[in-house]
Structures are given as structure tokens and as C-alpha cells.
């Protein structure tokens, strides 16, 4: 190489990118120098003459490491992107949905959003509200699960001052509409017909947009009265599950991991092969909610796949007497260590720790009592 030695080239490559794997080829008399360069950051070295298979093996390992490095850089870049859209991803269904949002938000037509649990139905409802002319008005979510006639009357009248009177020119989100009982469905049909609220004294006109969310109605075909379904489904949207938009999983994971790292004041850890394989192979039945929980556990070092050393340390502290013999003991030790680590990572904020662990609040406190964890001491120590 005229004007540049191999060592000079190596040093220039290291200057430009310290993570670039460099394989050196050297003669037998240069082995001491090659060892020094390995210490300086060279990836590997081969002595001349070398076996072509050895070169292929070294290059294969280097390419694998390089791919992992670039993927981790991409992960951190995505994690730091605070301008990411509400619905991330480049899959065709998501790109089509993002293009439709401004148009749908600008209309007054009612909307029915269908999707499996955790696909973001409530988030889409809020986005449609914030993106339209009703953005400065109230947005209220009303759960349709378990609403008896008393609660229906309190919301829609004729009880004094029905709840919906305060929503004029706003948006009402009817969550889990497929679980609405007969009393609620009848009242909704009457409201959608007249757009008025009966206060018992007079009928008050109400400018209100309805957005209903539902599990896929193919599985609940008989849940809604036809008169209600056809009035609600002026615009019908279907959110795909994660298993049908796998090309979006990495970007979504990076976004959730970045949010967690920012909240905890830390950095997104490097992505291991085990975590990458789990992201690619898992079906994510809990969809975005499950992926968000997994990303939070990953950032805190609590993920089942590729958990870093600090977690092992927690388990060792929990059982200093030595190796555990039985599987139940191992599970209990892991649960106790995971809860303690989550509370510490969240600086003693119990609500944040519960969300990060993905546990119901009641289950969290049951396990705290079961494992004898002193939450007061953890909170006092700031986690």
C-alpha cells in the first residue's frame, strides 16, 4: 500500500470506527507486533501462509459481530428519536393507517376500531380526537364492561346532570363495545338516532363524536344489535396484531426501550442474540402491551432472555447459602430478585415497578408479602 502501512491503516480504521472488526494478516516474525495490535483492538490475526478456511471462519465471526454492532446502533438511534409517530412501523397496514388518520380525524363520522387486546385501539381513539377539530374539547373513555342500568342512566340520563352533558363538542370512546349489555345498547341506539340527552326535564342536543373499540367482531358476531353496529360503524378500522406486522417489532421495541431508559435516567443495553431471536420468533399474543412490558424488563436487566449479570447477583444475594436444588426454589428466588430489582430501578416508585413487571397490582402485593420484601425500606433508600 503506497504511502500507508498496514498498521497505519488499522489505526485509521480504529479512529474512524472503534467498533469495526479488523482482521490482520502477518508473517511469523511479526507475531509480537500482532499481539500488541490485538491488545489495541484488532479483531483477530492470521499468520502467513494461512488456511483459506481459517480466513473464512474469521471473516464470518467478524461479520456477525459487525451486524450485531450496527443493529445495536440502530436500536439506540431509534430509542433516542423523540419525534417518532404515534403508530410506528413501515408495514403496509400501519403506513395505510397513518395516511388515513388526518382524513378520518377531520370528519364527524362515528368510528369503530377492532383489534386484539394490546393492539393500540385506545391510543388510536385518542389520536383521532387530538388530530381533529375536537382536540380542545374533552375526551372521555367509558368502559362498556359491567355497566348496569343505574350506570347507564347516570351517563345518558334521565338522571340529573348526566355525565355526557359535559362532553358537548368532544369525543366519547366506548371501550369494549362488544361487552355492552342490553340496557346500554338500547340507550346508545336511541342516542345515535336523536343525538340528544334526556335530562328528565327536556331533551338536550349534544354534538358528540363516538369512537367505539372492540375485539375482532368476527369472534363476537352476535354481541352487538344490528341497529347499533350499523350506526357506529360509519368508519370501520381494524388494527393488525404484531404477528401480522413483524417488520415493525424491532422499531417498536426500540421506541419502548428508549422511553424506559429515559424515564429511569439510564441507557438502552446492547441487544444480545437471545433477545433478537425472541423478538423475531415470539408471537406476542399481548401485542403492543406485551412488547412494551418486555422492553421495560430488558432495559432494567430483568428480561427472561439475555438477562445481564446484575440479576444473577440479586439471586445470589437472596440465597447466599449456595446453589439451589429445586425448580420451585429457583422460581421463588427469581421472582423475589426481579421485584427488588424493579423497585430499585424505578427509584422506589411502586406504580412504575408494577407497570415494568407487567403484574396486576393485587398480584404484585401478594408476591411482595409471599417473599417477605420490605417495600418501605426500598422506598426509603430510593429503590
* Residue 159 predicted with pLDDT over 50: yes
Topology adopted by domain 6-79: Rossmann fold (3.40.50)
d(CA 123, CA 130) in angstroms, rounded, equals 11
CB atoms within 10 A of CB 112: 23
* Residue 316 predicted with pLDDT over 70: no
Question: Start-end ranges of CATH 3.40.50.2300 in the chain?
Answer: 6-79
Q: How many CA atoms lie within 13 A of 344 on its CB side?
A: 14
Please, which residues bridge with residue 237 across strands?
113
d(CA 300, CA 308) in angstroms, rounded, equals 9
Sheet holding 170-175, edge to edge: 139-143, 170-175, 208-214, 111-114, 235-238
Which cell numbers in the block locate residue 69?
454492532
pLDDT at 281: 86
Q: How confident is the model at residue 124 (pLDDT cuts 50, 70, 90)?
A: very high
* Residue 238 predicted with pLDDT over 60: yes
The per-residue pLDDT of the chain, averaged, comes to 80
The beta-strand segments (E) located in 144-270 are 170-175, 196-198, 203-205, 208-214, 235-238
CA 168 to each of CA 147, 158, 209: distance values in angstroms, whole numbers, following the listed order:
22, 17, 9
Q: Which CATH architecture has domain 92-239?
A: 3-Layer(aba) Sandwich (3.40)
At CA 121, angle to CA 117 and CA 125, rounded to 5? Answer: 160
Query: Which range has the worst mean pLDDT, 159-163, 264-268, 276-280, 286-290?
Result: 159-163
Q: How confident is the model at residue 110 (pLDDT cuts 50, 70, 90)?
A: very high
Phi, psi of 224 (to 5 degrees): -110, 140
The closest of 234, 213, 243, 281 to 93, measured between CA atoms, is 243
**Are the C-beta atoms of residues 7 and 27 closer than 8 Å to each other?**
no
Burial status of residue 335 (CB atoms within 10 A of its CB: 0-12, 13-18, 19 or more): middle
**Are the C-beta atoms of residues 242 and 89 closer than 8 Å to each other?**
no
What tens digit of pLDDT does each residue of 22-61 get? 887 776 556 677 677 777 777 777 777 778 888 888 888 8
Question: Start-end ranges of CATH 3.40.50.300 in the chain?
Answer: 92-239
- Secondary structure tally for the chain: helices H, strands E: 16, 9
* Residue 175 predicted with pLDDT over 60: yes
Q: How confident is the model at residue 237 (pLDDT cuts 50, 70, 90)?
A: very high
pLDDT at 214: 94
d(CA 120, CA 118) in angstroms, rounded, equals 6
Q: How confident is the model at residue 314 (pLDDT cuts 50, 70, 90)?
A: very low
What tens digit of pLDDT does each residue of 281-300 get? 888 998 998 898 888 888 88
Per-residue buried b or exposed e for 144-161, using 16+ beta carbons within 10 Å of the residue's own CB: beebeeebbbebbbebee
* Residue 212 predicted with pLDDT over 90: yes
Q: How confident is the model at residue 382 (pLDDT cuts 50, 70, 90)?
A: low
Phi, psi of 23 (to 5 degrees): -100, 125
3-state helix, strand, coil in the chain (%, to 5): 55, 10, 35
pLDDT at 364: 85
Amino acid at each position: 500500500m503506497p504511502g500507508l502501512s498496514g498498521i497505519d491503516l488499522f489505526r485509521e480504521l480504529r479512529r474512524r470506527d472503534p467498533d469495526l472488526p479488523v482482521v490482520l494478516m502477518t508473517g511469523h516474525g511479526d507475531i509480537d507486533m500482532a499481539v500488541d495490535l490485538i491488545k489495541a483492538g484488532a479483531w483477530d490475526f492470521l499468520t502467513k501462509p494461512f488456511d483459506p478456511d481459517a480466513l473464512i471462519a474469521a471473516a464470518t465471526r467478524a461479520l456477525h459481530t459487525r451486524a450485531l454492532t450496527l443493529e445495536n446502533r440502530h436500536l439506540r438511534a431509534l430509542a433516542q428519536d423523540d419525534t417518532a409517530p404515534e403508530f410506528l412501523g413501515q408495514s403496509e397496514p400501519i403506513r395505510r393507517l397513518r395516511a388515513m388518520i388526518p382524513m378520518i380525524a377531520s370528519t364527524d363520522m362515528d368510528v369503530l376500531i377492532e383489534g386484539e387486546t394490546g393492539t393500540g385501539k385506545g391510543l388510536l381513539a385518542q389520536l383521532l380526537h387530538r388530530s381533529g377539530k375536537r382536540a380542545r374539547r374533552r375526551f372521555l373513555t367509558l368502559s362498556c364492561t359491567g355497566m348496569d342500568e343505574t350506570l347507564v342512566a347516570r351517563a345518558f340520563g334521565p338522571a340529573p346532570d348526566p355525565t355526557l352533558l359535559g362532553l358537548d363538542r368532544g369525543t366519547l370512546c366506548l371501550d369494549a363495545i362488544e361487552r355492552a349489555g342490553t340496557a346500554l345498547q338500547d340507550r346508545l341506539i336511541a342516542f345515535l338516532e336523536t343525538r340528544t340527552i334526556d335530562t328528565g326535564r327536556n331533551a338536550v342536543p349534544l354534538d358528540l363524536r363516538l369512537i367505539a373499540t372492540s375485539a375482532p367482531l368476527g369472534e363476537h358476531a352476535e354481541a352487538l344489535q344490528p341497529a347499533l353496529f350499523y350506526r357506529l360503524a360509519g368508519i370501520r378500522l381494524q388494527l393488525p396484531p404484531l404477528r401480522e406486522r413483524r417488520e415493525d417489532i424491532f422499531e417498536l421495541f426500540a421506541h419502548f426501550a428508549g422511553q424506559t431508559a429515559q424515564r429511569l435516567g439510564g441507557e438502552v443495553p446492547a441487544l444480545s442474540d437471545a433477545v433478537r431471536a425472541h423478538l423475531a420468533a415470539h408471537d406476542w399474543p399481548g401485542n403492543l402491551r406485551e412488547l412494551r412490558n418486555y422492553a421495560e424488563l430488558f432495559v432494567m436487566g430483568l428480561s427472561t432472555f439475555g438477562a445481564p449479570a446484575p440479576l444473577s447477583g440479586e439471586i445470589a444475594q437472596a440465597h447466599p447459602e449456595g446453589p439451589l436444588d429445586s425448580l420451585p426454589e429457583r422460581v421463588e428466588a427469581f421472582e423475589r430478585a426481579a421485584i427488588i430489582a424493579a423497585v430499585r430501578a424505578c427509584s422506589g416508585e411502586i406504580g412504575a415497578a408494577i407497570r415494568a413487571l407487567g403484574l396486576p397490582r393485587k398480584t404484585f402485593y401478594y408476591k411482595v408479602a409471599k417473599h417477605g420484601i420490605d417495600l418501605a425500606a426500598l422506598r426509603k433508600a430510593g429503590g
